[in-house]
């Protein structure tokens, strides 16, 4: 069974940093692109970033470009999202998902990030 | 900046058929945008329904189907059930690695 488990969320002050992790199991992790998607309280879903299976290709939404960095460790079957210069508008539930076929497939349950002083 | 558009809300009677659409503020949606569809109930993670326009994700019943209708992507639900009451989101692949979600459609079954 494919499983994705996010961790690392929490409360951080504006301007601070946080690193999210997504532990994957049940599939050949290194062969799948992986995405991060977020959802602000009471709002819709927003695509954040995607990384190719090898980790060589990465893409970002304009809203996070230059502040967030997606990466992966295929030896640990783990996806990461390094979030710097956090703003109040980054407050959201962050989901990871495996991403074949230009889409998202299986989703994790999400981890909550709150940016507030 | 191109916006992905969806109906904010829709209602369907139990057993009825409803078609939700996913368009562009400028231009037409084609299969080259690899439209995908997701269902989300409050407090839950999204569930993938359709990818690459019309391919159902594993375990998704054939009551859900995807297509291109005119200049939009479409999600059709036939034989609507009470537990289909959810938010539905589409995603379009915009090229250069970029995906964009629509604003979502809140579907009511009543």
Exposed (0-12), middle (13-18) or buried (19+): which is B101, by Cβ within 10 Å? buried
In this prediction, residue B1 carries a pLDDT of 77
Which ranges of chain B have pLDDT less than 50? none
Which of B45, B98, B104 is closest, CB to CB, to A59?
B98
Ramachandran sector of residue B70 (left: φ over 0; alpha: ψ -120 to 50; beta: rest): left
Per-residue pLDDT of B72-99, as tens digits, reads 999 999 999 999 999 999 999 999 999 9
**Residue where the block lists tokens 């079954």:** B109
**Binary contact (B52, A103; C-beta < 8 A):** yes
Residue A88: phi and psi, rounded to 5, are -60, -35
Handedness of CA A19, A25, A29, A32 (dihedral sign): negative
In this prediction, residue B2 carries a pLDDT of 82
Percentage with pLDDT > 70 across chain B: 100
**Binary contact (B101, A47; C-beta < 8 A):** yes
Of A92, A93, A70, A75, the residue nearest A19 (C-alpha):
A70
E-only strand ranges, A26-101: 34-39, 45-51, 58-60, 68-73, 78-83, 92-98
Which of A58, A95, A103 is closest, CB to CB, to B36?
A103
In this prediction, residue B53 carries a pLDDT of 98
pLDDT range class, residue A73, cuts 50, 70, 90:
very high
Mean pLDDT of chain A: 97
- Residue A11 Cα, gap to closest chain B Cα (Å): 19
Paired strand residues for A36? A49, A96
């Amino acid at each position: 069974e494919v499983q994705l488990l996010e961790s690392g969320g929490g409360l951080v002050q504006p301007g601070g940093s946080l690193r999210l992790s997504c532990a994957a199991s049940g599939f050949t992790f290194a062969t799948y692109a992986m995405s991060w998607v977020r959802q602000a309280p009471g709002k819709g879903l927003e695509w954040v970033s995607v990384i190719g299976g090898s980790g060589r290709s990465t893409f970002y939404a304009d809203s996070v470009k230059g502040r967030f960095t997606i990466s992966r460790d295929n030896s640990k079957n783990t996806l990461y999202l390094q979030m710097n210069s956090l703003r109040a508008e980054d407050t959201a539930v962050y989901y990871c998902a495996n991403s074949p076929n230009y889409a998202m497939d299986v989703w994790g349950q999400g981890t909550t990030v709150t940016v507030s002083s | 900046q191109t916006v992905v558009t969806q109906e904010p809300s829709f209602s369907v009677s139990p057993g009825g058929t409803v078609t939700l659409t996913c368009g562009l503020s400028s231009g037409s949606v084609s299969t080259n945008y690899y439209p995908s569809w997701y269902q989300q109930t409050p407090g839950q993670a999204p569930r993938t329904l359709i990818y690459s326009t019309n391919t159902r994700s594993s375990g998704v019943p054939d009551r859900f189907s995807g297509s291109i209708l005119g200049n939009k992507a479409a999600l059709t639900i036939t034989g609507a059930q009470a537990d289909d009451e959810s938010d539905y989101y589409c995603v379009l692949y915009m090229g250069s690695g970029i995906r964009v979600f629509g604003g979502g459609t809140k579907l009511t079954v009543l």
